[in-house]
Structure 1
């Protein structure tokens, strides 16, 4: 970090998938992944450090950028100037779910000949980025599709439902400030509210809001998967 960041100026801040990208005037890019519990904060110099502060960067306005991560699943690295991103964590990512490249035709092509379960397919960053476990469950409920349905069996109409549901759920979650299940807070240090809108995730045994059938749960790729046995076909 010191070799490429010390004395450099941040020229832009961007995001790709779950990675924050801070471009420097020397061509280096600082890559930040918050993991499960990572947080970034800006504090006046001299503010006492918190227990799980792992990185502190001094800014030129007497403020400090700090990275705090209780569970240490996050990371910070630097891509040197002139790096070929094709060989890095940025090189093999699918389109953004809110972007124009995420279309029914694209998904139909990607699913052709594949025998993968639908939920696992949607959570693969090589197919589409940024759809985590909670949102995958909610997207599939809204689309009316079973999480273990084989992707090769889906029609263009089905993929249209997936695209529309993905955009609706994610945009609504963003507007609600995110989903706080345990300790997530937004950039202002406040909890999100989308957990109040969840239809299936974490609702095992509760009545479906659409048909009153008890919400079911199964494990897929090591992740808890919630769905309505009646509404999702």
Structure 2
């Protein structure tokens, strides 16, 4: 018995983790819509995915922070039809010292990592709940599990989106759709280009992509990439403040 290919929308498709996840979907013969700001880069990724087995790949040029999420979502539905899976994978790391001094810089970090993906998630959730099916997967971060001086503006935004997706998952309970926040640890992608990499806690985009793809089908509403981060962050959250405040994290 043949099955229709999955219809997948990837928001922020030029990110390293998104591209690696798209390759997994392409190998399954999925129909993909890649959304982002850089049309030339989207076209290059689309061409690669067609060679990797995707049954169809289209692109949509969207500025997630500036464009109205609900209207853009309705436009995508009108053009491409209903989606089975939606992955929200965009975000910015930003610069913590700058954000502490510049309210516009702080607002930019929060808009890209919380406000915008939250609006998109709510628009998608409304459609999925009405249809009684669909998988929404959103990239969070272990940085949201406890505020640290090194990146607490970014971490706060990621904590907010995690809480929102958990709430959507609760809203979906028993209704058919699913919502998942995937929390990677440090990952070797262009977003972390300026960081010193290496060590057992670093992952590749391909390793995280496996978790993201699996999360769309099964598992709880919060998943860590890799799984070891669940224990690591539990330990970090349990460190008493008197000790934590002396740590350079």
TM-score tier after normalising by the smaller chain length: under 0.3
Higher relative contact order (CA 8 A, sep 6+): 2
| Higher-helix-fraction structure | 2
| Bigger radius of gyration among the two | 1
| Higher-strand-fraction structure | 1
- TM-score using structure 1 length: 0.28
- TM-score using structure 2 length: 0.27
